[in-house]
Chains A and B, each alone.
Chain A
Amino acid sequence: ILNVEQSPQSLHVQEGDSTNFTCSFPSSNFYALHWYRWETAKSPEALFVMTLNGDEKKKGRISATLNTKEGYSYLYIKGSQPEDSATYLCAFHGSSNTGKLIFGQGTTLQVKP
């Protein structure tokens, strides 16, 4: 069974703080790593898909890095705002998974004004 772990499970920060969290995944048979943002009562929405070791992606104040050799990805949020409050999911796409994604348990971020 492939294991995808995210830490921490939850995080409370003040508005303006920068924060980061981790996704660890199997380092073998890697194809892609996906990040999703999931707001309460809505559908998870795609943030990034990353494929290459050393990849860095950025969207506004949110960025992500990828290390496929050691099997981890970091998601960074610079200057957190209350609207960043959500659960952030990572998902591993293995080369033998034929399109199935294996999700971590998520990191729930709460940003206080």
Chain B
Amino acid sequence: DADVTQTPRNRITKTGKRIMLECSQTKGHDRMYWYRQDPGLGLRLIYYSFDVKDINKGEISDGYSVSRQAQAKFSLSLESAIPNQTALYFCATSDEGRGLGGYTFGSGTRLTVV
């Protein structure tokens, strides 16, 4: 089983619909992140969480919300999806901030909003 699992892998949804992307991990890491990837723009941080009670906005949080249900689970919601939220979404985890382990990524969720 993968260390970081994202569901679904692919999703097509209509404008205005609410959608949730889920991420779970078996790494035992406290820190979890949601990024989106757009061609030519690299990975941009949406939200991050350093523990269950800690949620922080990233650089592009508008239109998104998150929930950290447990240490191992971090879900991303689009309250009312719009076409420019079409992107590849990655969940990642890391150990404590001064560690050098970097991130462990999930396989990504490709979301299309029509």
- Interface, chain A (partner B; CB < 8 A): 1, 4, 6, 9, 32, 34, 36, 42-46, 49, 51, 89, 91, 93, 97-106
- Interface, chain B (partner A; CB < 8 A): 4, 31, 33, 35, 40-45, 48, 50, 59, 90, 94, 96-103, 105-108
Q: Which residues of chain A are within 8 angstroms of B94 by Cβ–Cβ distance?
A: 99, 101
CB distance from A96 to the nearest CB of B (A): 10
- Cβ-defined contact, B97 with A98, below 8 A: yes
25 residue pairs bridging A and B, Cβ less than 8 Å apart? A4-B42, A32-B100, A34-B103, A43-B4, A43-B90, A43-B105, A43-B106, A44-B90, A44-B103, A46-B102, A49-B101, A89-B42, A89-B43, A91-B102, A93-B100, A93-B102, A98-B50, A99-B31, A99-B94, A99-B97, A99-B98, A100-B33, A103-B35, A103-B44, A105-B40
Q: Which residues of chain A are within 8 angstroms of B100 by Cβ–Cβ distance?
A: 32, 49, 51, 93
- Interface contacts (Cβ under 8 Å), in number, total 58
Q: Which residues of chain A are within 8 angstroms of B101 by Cβ–Cβ distance?
A: 49
Separation of A32 and B105 alpha carbons in the complex (Å): 18
- Cβ-defined contact, B102 with A100, below 8 A: no
Residue among A34, A42, A49, A105 making CB contact with B42, cutoff 8 Å: A105
CB distance from B2 to the nearest CB of A (A): 8
Q: Which residues of chain A are within 8 angstroms of B44 by Cβ–Cβ distance?
A: 103
CB distance from B60 to the nearest CB of A (A): 12
Contacts A43-B107, A46-B102, A51-B100 given: A100-B45 contact, CB under 8 Å? yes
CB distance from A10 to the nearest CB of B (A): 10
Separation of A105 and B36 alpha carbons in the complex (Å): 12
